[in-house]
Amino acid sequence: MCSDDGACDPLIVARTGELVCQLCGLVLSIGDMADTEPLQYTSEGKDDSRVGMPIDMLLPNLSMGTSIGGRGKQASRQRMLNAHFNMPYRERALLKAFRIIAAASSALGLQEAVVAAAKQTFARLREASGTRRGAIYKAMPAVSTYFAAKLARSSYRPREMVCDAFGVDAAEFSKCYKHALDFSRSSPYYAGMIAAVDATSLTMLMLNTMPDIVPRQRQAEVRRTIYKLHDLVVAKSPEIACQSDLTLIAAEVLVACELLGLSCPRADAAECAGVSHATLARYVKRVHQSLPPLD
């Protein structure tokens, strides 16, 4: 019986003597009708180790001690595993945390913008020395998501619900939350991690209201450019971090599109932000002034 779809369309492969399901490509059993001695026979007799594997997964004799994978599921898993462990530690830790945030946020029913903000918050929280230790570090994904959901207002979730979704102890959560607050208040460069989270949510909102202006296939590229611009603006004028409203994001969208060679009419951006052309022009000028000088 085929394990994948419950049905079976068996076929005996003459070269290897294997009984293969034509529907899913898995080896069902090893037969004795091969034209030549198959790879599955060893000095001890028939080897059933290939049963349940894809037909295109080749296993040599046991004495070789390795498996050679082609296009099978096991080979794909092995390649993914190798790529994961060949990553630098920082990237591997970030990827693992982002997967945890995505899974728990899905269980909490959070919006895409909140999930993106939680990931950005986690990446910035890693700079705080107080959040790099053991249990506190394990609670960071939960704290980052709680920050993002709290600031989104419409997506707010109680602390107990967030702890349950992430499987984090309440005491560990409280310690990490305290360090996160200390970091957000004392960091001179970001002048407020909260504002960065708010900017992330507003960016997603802005791009979602401008699908005709910014093509969806380039929205990720525009979003990354906006985040870099926002960091430059905050570094140049820390006081603006507490005023991250839709007007600033609209100005950053305009400048990002300009840098990437996209056409974004100012009239449409001003209408989306709900401000006058003159107000938007002042914000655009401030963003331009934050850009580093060209060599």
- Of 28, 54, 83, the position where a domain reaches its end is 83
Q: Which of 158-162, 211-215, 228-232 has the lowest mean pLDDT?
A: 211-215
Q: Which amino acid is at 131?
A: T
pLDDT digits (tens, 9 = 90+) for 10-54: 666 544 566 766 555 566 666 554 433 444 444 444 545 555 555
Question: Alpha helix locations (H) across the chain?
Answer: 73-85, 89-108, 112-125, 134-138, 140-152, 159-166, 170-186, 193-208, 219-236, 246-259, 266-273, 277-290
In angstroms, the CA 105 to CA 110 distance is 5
For residue 243, pLDDT over 60 is answered with no
DSSP 42: E
Question: Phi/psi of residue 285, each to 5°?
Answer: -65, -40
Assigned domain for 271 exists: yes
How many domains does the chain fold into?
3
Which of the listed residues 186, 204, 228 is the one where a domain comes to its end? 186
Claim to verify: residue 206 and residue 262 sit in the same structural domain:
yes
Does residue 72 share a domain with residue 95? no
| Residue type present at position 108 | L
Spatial contact of 181 and 169, defined as CB atoms under 8 Å apart: no
Q: What is the dihedral of CA 283, 285, 290, 294, to 10 degrees?
A: 150
Q: What is the CATH number of the domain that holds 207?
A: 1.10.472.10
CA distance linking residue 107 with residue 196, whole number of Å: 24
What's the confidence (pLDDT) of residue 132?
Answer: 61
Query: CA 276, CA 274: separation in Å to the nearest integer?
Result: 7
pLDDT by residue (tens digit) across 140-176? 888 888 887 876 666 778 888 888 889 888 888 888 8
State the residue range of the domain holding 199.
193-290
* 197 and 259 within one domain: yes
Chosen domain end from 66, 83, 100: 83
